[in-house]
Amino acid sequence: RVRVLMRSGEQREKFVRTPRGAPSRPLTQHEINAKFLDTAGAALGRDVALDLLNRLWSLNEVQDVGEVLRDVV
């Protein structure tokens, strides 16, 4: 629940029973990518985050998980 008090004194409130990303309302792959790039991109830089994201989506093809984190940590 979010409640905002406007300068005019008006109050606005929004309640979301089940937020996006909950098991019953999963994010789309596009939304996951955008969320990851927003957060990881701020810490790693967009190019590094994009490269890492691509590696993460292909985890099932990797023999050594260390390869995925190479050049990131």
**Whose CA is closest to 68, among 48, 41, 39, 46?**
48
What's the Rg (C-alpha) of the chain?
Answer: 18
> For residue range 1-54, what is the model confidence (pLDDT) as tens digits?
899 999 999 999 999 999 999 999 999 999 999 999 999 999 999 999 999 999
Distance CA 31, CA 58 (A): 17
Record the pTM: 0.71
Please list the residues that pair with 4 across neighbouring strands. Answer: 12
The pLDDT of 53-59, averaged and rounded, is 92
Q: Which residues pair with 2 in a beta bridge?
A: 14
Number of helices followed by number of strands (H, E) in the chain = 3, 2
Q: Are the CB atoms for 5 and 11 separated by under 8 Å?
A: yes
pLDDT at 70: 78
